[in-house]
């Protein structure tokens, strides 16, 4: 069974640019959650999508957005990049809603974004 796939694994952008990250969940999983991980702030929740609908959103500015397609694949976009957006962006898939906290989240290896 293929795991969660995130692309690209590494990318470098400059301030003001935008970036799109992609996540393919495990087959059959309908929920995709996105997290930002930095050494100082730890793992911060961005948003969760379930059946193409955003079900929950973290405390991030509107520059961070996402969507989910009918095949459950998800993308997140960050516009007008800032230096502080440098981080590891992790995607996780699950059968049901992740927020309930009883099902297992399966994480991808992440996309490491560096903003110069």
Partner 1 sequence: TQLLEQSPQFLSIQEGENLTVYCNSSSVFSSLQWYRQEPGEGPVLLVTVVTGGEVKKLKRLTFQFGDARKDSSLHITAAQPGDTGLYLCAGGTASKLTFGTGTRLQVTL
Work out how close the CB of 83 gets to partner 1 at its nearest, in angstroms, rounded to a whole number.
22
- The residue among 1 and 70 lying less far from partner 1, judged by its C-beta, is 1
Give the nearest distance from C-beta 96 to partner 1 in angstroms: 11
Task: Give the per-residue contact string, 87-106, with partner 1 (x = CB under 8 A; - = no).
Answer: ---x-x----xxxxxx-xx-
Q: Binding of partner 1 at residue 45 (CB under 8 A)?
A: yes
Burial (CB < 10 A; 0-12, 13-18, 19+), residue 44, is middle
Is residue 71 helix, strand or coil? Answer: coil
């Amino acid at each position: 069974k293929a795991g969660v796939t995130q692309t690209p694994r590494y990318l470098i952008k400059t301030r003001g640019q935008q970036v799109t990250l992609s996540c393919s969940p495990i087959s059959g999983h309908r929920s995709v959650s996105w997290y930002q991980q930095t050494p100082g702030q730890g793992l911060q929740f961005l948003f969760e999508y379930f059946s193409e609908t955003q079900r929950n959103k973290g405390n991030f500015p509107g520059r961070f957005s996402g969507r989910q397609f009918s095949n459950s694949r998800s993308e997140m976009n960050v516009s007008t990049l800032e230096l502080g957006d440098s981080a590891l962006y992790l995607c996780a898939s699950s059968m049901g809603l992740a927020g309930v906290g009883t099902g297992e989240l399966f994480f991808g290896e992440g996309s490491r974004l560096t903003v110069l």
